[in-house]
Structure 1
Amino acid sequence: MRLRIVRSVLAVLAVAGLAACTPGPGGGSPSSPAPGSSASSTPSGSPTGPLPGAPGTPGRGDAELSIIVKLSPTAAPESYTLVCTNGVPAAESHHPTAAAACAALKKNPKLLTRPPRPSEQVCDQRYGGPQTATVTGTVDGVGVASSYKLTDGCEIAAWAAVADILGSSGAGA
């Protein structure tokens, strides 16, 4: 039973990972709820609104994040603190693009949630540079721990999607 659940979860993550790297309108977001989702429906079966927590669904805009960016393996890390309240940077934020980062997290609180990339996913084999970044903390009370690099097309796209959150060092992507 547990194996069947794990396989189902992995299948959903595989589809989500492929959609995230697929160019086109809507950024790969699903246009209808997944089978078995808990989205409310009208009697005709059509959804009444966006799925709770779906990409693009606005959140509270509350975040406490630690962001560490390394421009190269031997470079000293750049460290940022981002604290947002209702989508607005708090005074204790030490971040070069705090207003844009807080606005992005309020607009999409799931922005930093990265599902594992399926092993069969094909990505452009272009190199964007040696930069790496790690983001840890909470967004709207949910823990996040994501890492970013510029080693192929999918990783470059993931970095670009969160460039405002990564700060000025994300400009190299």
Structure 2
Amino acid sequence: MGTGSRNSAVATAALGVLGFVLLAGCAEQPPTAEPTHLEITIRADGNTISDQFILDCNGTKALDSSTLSEAAEACKLIAEKPEIIVQQQSPQAICTEIFGGPERAEITGELAGKSVQSTYSKHNGCAIDRWSRAELLLGQ
């Protein structure tokens, strides 16, 4: 084997090892989740702010900057069921006319990097159901 073919074989082997190392390095890094930052405002009497919370998540993990008491569970919930925040009641929904109380809540911010703005109340049966599904986010 001549010097040229030996150098070529060494270069090919080195490129193979380098490629393997680069791919192995990529496999070790977990995918990054888009951040979630939500500001939650509760109005117990329907008008006056009674509570405010921050929920900061990286995927299903709550960040230390969160002030919501059940932040870890809330981050898992919205990662698995983002519709709790983004899905609004259909105008064609047939709801019982039951008044559940004057409470109102707003959630604004970014959910997995996307802007969200959602309101909650207990003005009828559908709204009460929606509030119940979001109670963990509402500090309840």
What TM-score do the two structures reach when normalised by structure 2? Answer: 0.70
Q: Return structure 1 stretches of 4+ with deviation > 3 angstroms.
A: 73-76
1:83-122 matched pairs, under 5 angstroms: 83-115=56-88, 117-118=90-91, 120-122=92-94
Q: Is the CA contact (8 Å cut-off) linking 2:34 and 2:113 kept in structure 1? A: no
RMSD of equivalent CA atoms: 1.7
Amino acid at match of 1:79: Q
Q: Is the CA contact (8 Å cut-off) linking 1:87 and 1:103 kept in structure 2? A: yes
> What displacement does 1:76 show?
3.6
Instruction: Report what 1:126 is aligned to.
Output: 98
Greater percentage in helix: 2
Instruction: Report what 2:111 is aligned to.
Output: 139
Instruction: Report what 1:31 is aligned to.
Output: none
Q: Is the CA contact (8 Å cut-off) linking 1:97 and 1:164 kept in structure 2? A: yes
Q: Is the CA contact (8 Å cut-off) linking 1:67 and 1:81 kept in structure 2? A: yes
Structure 1 unmatched ranges of 5 or more: 1-59, 169-173
Secondary structure of the corresponding residue to residue 84 of structure 2: coil
Instruction: Report what 2:125 is aligned to.
Output: 153
Structure 2 unmatched ranges of 5 or more: 1-32
Q: Is the CA contact (8 Å cut-off) linking 1:66 and 1:79 kept in structure 2? A: yes
Q: Answer with 1 or 2: which has the greater Rg.
A: 2
> What displacement does 1:68 show?
0.1
- Hey, what's the Cα distance between the residues in 2 that align with 1:74 and 1:161? 22
> What displacement does 1:74 show?
5.0
- Hey, what's the Cα distance between the residues in 2 that align with 1:135 and 1:115? 12
Residues 123 and 96 of structure 1: is their aligned pair in 2 closer, same or farther, counting only changes over 3 Å?
Answer: same
What TM-score do the two structures reach when normalised by structure 1? Answer: 0.57
1:1-173 matched pairs, under 5 angstroms: 60=33, 62-115=35-88, 117-118=90-91, 120-168=92-140
Alpha-carbon displacement from aligned partner over 1:61-106 (angstroms, at most 9, x marks no partner): 7410000001103544310000011211101111121111101011
Alpha-carbon displacement from aligned partner over 1:3-61 (angstroms, at most 9, x marks no partner): xxxxxxxxxxxxxxxxxxxxxxxxxxxxxxxxxxxxxxxxxxxxxxxxxxxxxxxxx47
Greater percentage in strand: 2
Identity rate of aligned residues, in percent? Answer: 26
- Hey, what's the Cα distance between the residues in 2 that align with 1:97 and 1:64? 15
